[in-house]
Structure 1
């Protein structure tokens, strides 16, 4: 961490940092650490510069705007301060003494987290950040990848042969519906972006927020849960929901066939895995 960023941390916390415990998980490069100062104060810092990855500072800036707009909620982390010198961007949060959900998921944590997400969705509908990006617009390129799969001649699972155009049409229809959504979505919910405590479920890492339908985050989170031996509540038989799942599958399938971006060496294998999860879900919903 550059000296100027470290000085900001210690100035904000009012004491020198004597312990920094790096936290693992996610894909972004940079510092992610739980801190303890000489005075005993605790905090969590995440910070990154353009030299580590040119796009990640922009994601951190989006998170700053989103968290400030949401304000204090039991299910979101309390933001203490932010840093931005045009190169390095940092966020300093409360230190949350908790644990990540089990992965594979277990039923008790599935039920608890989905209940908390329902409450969070209520609080974020309509979006407290009126100018938040529309996820269907911002993510249109990613969610419209099935034509790229066709163009590049990428192999698909046997059941999908001859049906790729069907999924492309479903995805396009979903984007039209999603563009009208008014709820602020986290848009990146999975086990390693959630912290459980004895009395809280905290949704962290708000780097990809945007407006969408109320079911947006539920679909994303259930996808992360589906590989586990748990019971999940059925989602409505809505073509837009099926189309959203299909759109994610297409984006991940095409992405998994590309070269890894700078600083993110593990993301392509994860994308391939996620594509298969979503494709199985689409197949189930289509019958």
Structure 2
């Protein structure tokens, strides 16, 4: 997994640490920092006499986009706290240009990047067994991730874009308008009212003694439930270097998702990550663009392998 460097606890401003300790009700006596993800800032389990809590914090200066996501997650978690979704949210605070979120600490570790035997099955089972209707106040996935569904149309309208996917012979994998049509197909197919995490990667899933726990709910939204496992399987394909077709077939069956709609969503991811990977680098997130390029390549190759006139891998 490509990671972004994190700030240590002691690097946070003194007055911010005092505010956090006030909310915790006691001084911090120990810190177990964590790594992972693409959010520049602090993340770790802090210990006090009242027990542990997981905290994450960032600022406008450190990572303005990350701070916006933390505030977005704060709003989502307040809504989800009244549902059966298990997000473990405790509290959030804004202090000057900083935002801090606190959650119940989970004893466990990030799911293995190579997806050890049993872990992927357990996560997919969790997703199937915890499907719920999303709070109506959460945005639709097609609104929250509008850039994803609009990426191929935007690239098609950009005269400077000259990197349309090709096959092994150098021929166009699909005409530009076919990519646009797939994006529109997915926009309709994945509209729905079920709760989506919408950012499932190994670093957003903890493996605890009782099984997997989903964390980082900044992109919580409403949509068709198959969105989450298909996104997760794209991450698995990127890490393992091969598309998990057997698992995707199980998802298609379990969720009643048309096979061609699953392909259309993979096409959406290919366009979205292509679009994002072409943006200027972000100094605070030095590995992000490479990750996006890898995700784009994986999604596009998987779409190519799933086209009716092509041989499956």
Same fold (TM over 0.5): yes
Alignment: residue pair count: 281
Q: Tell me the secondary structure at the aligned position of residue 144 of structure 1.
A: helix
- C-alpha separation in 1, matches of 2:301 and 2:86: 31
- After superposition, residues 1-287 of structure 1 pair within 5 angstroms as 1-37=12-48, 39=49, 41-71=51-81, 76-85=86-95, 87-120=97-130, 122=131, 124=132, 126-127=133-134, 129-150=135-156, 151=158, 152-159=160-167, 161=172, 163=174, 164-178=176-190, 180-227=191-238, 228=240, 231-234=246-249, 235=252, 236-287=257-308
Give, in angstroms, the shift of residue 72 of structure 1. Answer: 7.4
Structure 2: 5+ residue stretches without partners: 1-11, 309-313
Kindly indicate whether the alpha-carbon contact (under 8 Å) linking 2:107 and 2:209 is maintained by their aligned counterparts in 1.
Answer: no
- C-alpha separation in 2, matches of 1:80 and 1:211: 23
Q: Tell me the secondary structure at the aligned position of residue 132 of structure 1.
A: coil
Could you tell me the TM-score, scaled by structure 2's length?
0.82
Give, in angstroms, the shift of residue 153 of structure 1. Answer: 2.8
Give, in angstroms, the shift of residue 206 of structure 1. Answer: 0.6
Could you tell me the TM-score, scaled by structure 1's length?
0.89
The structure-2 alpha-carbon separation of the partners of 1:73 and 1:24, relative to structure 1 and needing over 3 Å to count, comes to farther
Give, in angstroms, the shift of residue 284 of structure 1. Answer: 2.6
Structure 1: 5+ residue stretches without partners: none
Q: Which string of whole-angstrom CA distances, capped at 9 and with x for unpartnered residues, describes residues 112-135 of structure 1?
A: 111111122x2x2x21x2111111
- C-alpha separation in 2, matches of 1:199 and 1:136: 33
The structure-2 alpha-carbon separation of the partners of 1:62 and 1:10, relative to structure 1 and needing over 3 Å to count, comes to same
Kindly indicate whether the alpha-carbon contact (under 8 Å) linking 2:80 and 2:87 is maintained by their aligned counterparts in 1.
Answer: no
Kindly indicate whether the alpha-carbon contact (under 8 Å) linking 1:5 and 1:83 is maintained by their aligned counterparts in 2.
Answer: no
Give, in angstroms, the shift of residue 26 of structure 1. Answer: 0.8
- Of stretches 183-192 and 77-86 in structure 1, the one that deviates more from structure 2 is 77-86
The structure-2 alpha-carbon separation of the partners of 1:107 and 1:57, relative to structure 1 and needing over 3 Å to count, comes to same
Q: Tell me the secondary structure at the aligned position of residue 33 of structure 1.
A: strand
- C-alpha separation in 2, matches of 1:184 and 1:239: 22
Give, in angstroms, the shift of residue 96 of structure 1. Answer: 0.9
The structure-2 alpha-carbon separation of the partners of 1:4 and 1:77, relative to structure 1 and needing over 3 Å to count, comes to farther
Q: Tell me the secondary structure at the aligned position of residue 149 of structure 1.
A: helix
- C-alpha separation in 2, matches of 1:183 and 1:43: 29
